[in-house]
């Protein structure tokens, strides 16, 4: 599965930015940072409703923890307003993704593999 930060970066090159008022436009042609990431990761726009936070969190469950989705949305508005760059937003997301956090903690199994004692 593509990481959230990579999907944000990919989506920003595939779809136009919206004004941040919705996750994804009804026709799927534009979206906010997470909406475009959702589309880049293969998400589809439902025909009977708009894309919601639960749709995005279904791809990246860690986004349902706390207010991180709304923090990212607020940062996207700062990108749209010219106060932040998309790279700064992507770096913020990458620093909070589970893979980034897990990479800093070596499990006992990983240590055994690294030391060769698990073979």
Average pLDDT of 22-26?
Answer: 85
pLDDT one-digit tens code per residue, 59-110: 999 999 999 999 999 999 999 999 999 999 999 999 999 865 554 445 566 6
| CB-based burial label for 30 (10 Å; 0-12, 13-18, 19+) | middle
Averaged pLDDT score across all residues of the chain:
85
Average pLDDT of 34-53?
Answer: 90
pTM, full prediction? 0.78
Contacts 24+ apart (CB under 8 A), 13-20: 14/39, 14/40, 15/39, 15/40, 17/76, 17/79, 17/80, 19/80, 20/73, 20/76, 20/77, 20/80
């Amino acid at each position: 599965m593509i990481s959230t930060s990579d999907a944000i970066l990919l989506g920003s090159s595939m779809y136009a930015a919206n004004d941040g008022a919705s996750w994804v436009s009804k026709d799927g042609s534009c979206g906010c940072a997470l909406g475009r990431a959702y589309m880049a990761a293969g998400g589809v726009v439902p025909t009977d409703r708009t894309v919601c936070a639960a749709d995005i969190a279904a791809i990246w469950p860690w986004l349902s923890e706390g207010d991180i989705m709304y923090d990212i949305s607020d940062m996207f508005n700062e990108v749209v307003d010219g106060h932040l760059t998309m790279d700064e937003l992507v770096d913020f997301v990458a620093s909070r993704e589970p893979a980034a956090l897990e990479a800093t903690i070596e499990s006992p199994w990983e240590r055994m593999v690294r030391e060769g004692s698990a073979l």
